[in-house]
Structure 1
Amino acid sequence: MALFALAAFATSAHSAAAEICGNGLWADAMIGSYHVHPKKHFDQFNPGIGAECWVSPQWAVTGGYFRNSLSAPSFYGGGVWSPEFVHWGYVRLAVMGGVISGYDYGKWGFGHDHKVGPVAAPLIMAEYGRIGANIILIPPIPSSDLPFTLGFQLRVRFW
């Protein structure tokens, strides 16, 4: 009986997610980063996992976790906007805006230790069928002494 209930729940959860994410549900695997002109050593291997729920062809909700370049856990959440006029075949441009944790944001941060702050980052997105990749240009965070950083993600589409 419990197995039947679990199967019924999974089926209803899948159909609800497919309805909300009608333009695609992607799993993102954060794999690494490249720091532009770093003044100090940063981790370039940044494993993590996330998701993109495309609610329309131009808008998505995203969130996830990765180990950041300072070897600290980072959680992020926000929205992605990719207007139709910046779609060219398999490639499109987008911008992500939201919040991210794990860095010292100084006066721009919030929370008791100012480790959560705003982020706005342009993306280059490529996809072919059910696979894809994102390149994210993360702006500097001066209070953490972080330079401009390129983040690299691999993507797999569920539907």
Structure 2
Amino acid sequence: MKVLDLCCQNDHTFEGWFGSEADFQDQHQRGLLQCPLCGDSQVRKVLSAPRIQRSARTVSAQEPVLPAASTPLPASAAGGADHSVASLQAAWLEVARKIVAQTEDVGAHFADEARRMHHGEVPERAIRGQASREETVQLLDEGIAVLPLPGIATKTLH
């Protein structure tokens, strides 16, 4: 698993999890990566601190405790960033991870699978995946309840 720090054009920093560098490149080239805060698809990798877990152990009082890459930094440590933005980002990422954990990823077949469930061809279940703007509008016009959520359909939040 490859964990990358990503950033959009609006300087929102977020974490992405990928199976490999090739998986990141593929999703990036296909325009599947989006900022979870603003939906911007102009995403780039940024420098990140490595996370090394050698074994489970107790941290001594002298050792600094560093936040995980997914833990937003306090406003004072984030170069003066607005604390409410960091709080919003943390809350959004928590919700996004719960959605990923509680739904089945049907990938690019989202629109077809949503229709099949709507018509009773397959049992209803919680799904997520990718759909174009046009497919989403068509689903809504057909009376199929869908909720576009930028960044959720990707595998970046596991």
Q: Which has the higher helix share?
A: 2
TM-score by length of 1: 0.26
- Which of these two proteins has the greater Rg computed from alpha carbons? 2
